[in-house]
Homo-oligomer: A and B are copies of this chain.
Amino acid sequence: MTAAPLRVGLAGLGTVGMGVMRVLRDNAAHVAARGGRPIVVSVVCARDRTRNRGMTLDTVRWVDDAEALATDPEVDVAVELIGGSDGPAAALAFAALQAGRPLITANKALLARHGVALARAAEASGASLAYEAAVAGGIPVIKALREGLAANRIRRIAGILNGTCNFILTSMRERGQDFADVLAEAQKLGYAETDPSFDVDGVDTAHKLAILAALAFGREVRFDDVYVEGIRAISAQDIAFARELGFRIKLLGIARRTEAGIDTRVHPCLIPEQSPLSRVDGVYNAVVAEGDFVGRVMLEGRGAGAGPTASAVVADLIDLARGRVAPPFGVPAALLAATPSVPMTDHVGAYYLRLMVVDRPGVIADVAGALRDSGVSLESMLQHGRAPGEAVPIVLVTHDTREAAMRLAIDRIERLDSVLERPSVIRIEHG
């Protein structure tokens, strides 16, 4: 191997950063063969120089300022693993691209917020921008949508994009435990952050979905248009009822092209037990893409962790070393369409509703009446046991209905005397 090495400036030496260091060390010869030349980290930047990271970093030069990597003469490509949609990550990213220096990032928040601006900056200077690690960790889903399935007009993508949520929902189902208990355990195991809101409230999934939708549909990244609902409200009871009905509950990110525009939403879903996504358990992620010629394709793998994420970062480095580049969102930024977003109130689908009601004559009639008056038609109803005068759960499944009608029905149902708490409402998807 006589070709000049590709020199990496690495910003951020946390779990993923050290994962990248390890891949480039342990698989150095392999990576050089695949990349056509050695790939070496020449300069690093991290807050703490003294922390023991389990690996000697003697051969690299340290700089204090991430932004300095954008113009350092010993850096051929800047790798941004700092995180956060603004601050030093954004400063480095824009500085690198404006200076014509290739940028590789794992930062979904940055891309969800500034994706188009970054793509424009890259295009203006002729630098490349790659971000395989930003979505679904080790699964090469960005490459699949940007290149592998590029011949297709994509109709729909649906994904399990957050390992923390999937681990929690899987554990709730397997053990019959409630959200809070499983969350506490996930935090102990390191699968959930001390402040878990970013994951469990669906924000992380929404970031990733906004990126995938831009890529799949050739549209501007529109994070603010993504409808987001997390998993805090899911109870052990819902999971048990879902199972009885032949479903599993998953937090999905879904993007669909419709006549009216692009529909992007993140929320818990009941999906049929036999659907491929329902089998994706624990910390695994998966993405389904439906294309006009290819049909349904599913990719599954580990969505987080040092190894899988570093695998994706180094894949981007190998592409760059070989000179393989692509417009960040599949088409030149100028061609990214401004296709409108479909508001959530226009969503049409079936719904699962769980109510706590007082078990007395006429309750079902009241609830059914509220649904009818809102234009919602019922497919099935489920009640177990009897407890006259006491609180019992009932579960309703609707036919396809507009979200606006459903919300009206919920408001009506909630005001009924015999209904004791805010109904649990979960959308049903085919998976």
CB within 8 Å of B: which residues of A? 19, 22-23, 26-27, 30-31, 33-36, 132, 138-140, 143-144, 147-153, 218, 276, 279, 291-302, 307-308, 310-315, 317-319, 322-327, 330-332, 335
Contact = CB atoms under 8 A, between A and B. Distances in A.
7 contacts: A138-B291, A143-B144, A147-B318, A147-B319, A149-B311, A293-B314, A294-B307
Nearest to A30: B153
Contacts of A300: 276, 297-300
Contacts of A139: 297
Nearest to A152: B311
Contacts of A302: 294-297
Contact of A311 (B294, B301, B317): B294
A248 to B, nearest CB: 13
Contacts of A34: 150-151, 330-331
Given A148-B144, A315-B151, A310 B293 contact: yes
Given A279-B279, A298-B299, A144 B144 contact: yes
Contacts of A332: 33, 36
Number of identical protomers: 2
Contact of A315 (B148, B292, B318): B148
A411 B147 CA distance: 52
Nearest to A330: B34
B295 A301 contact: yes
A85 to B, nearest CB: 26
A413 B133 CA distance: 54
A151 B318 contact: yes
A7 B302 CA distance: 40
Given A33-B335, A34-B330, A144 B140 contact: yes
Contacts of A33: 218, 330-332, 335
A49 B406 CA distance: 58
Nearest to A275: B279
Contact of A297 (B31, B138, B327): B138
Nearest to A218: B33
Given A138-B294, A324-B325, A318 B150 contact: yes
Contacts of A295: 138, 301-302, 307-308
Given A300-B297, A324-B325, A140 B148 contact: yes
Contacts of A326: 322, 324
Among A30, A147, A318, max chain B CB count under 10 A is at A147
Contacts of A22: 293
A91 to B, nearest CB: 27
A140 B139 CA distance: 12
A293 B30 contact: no
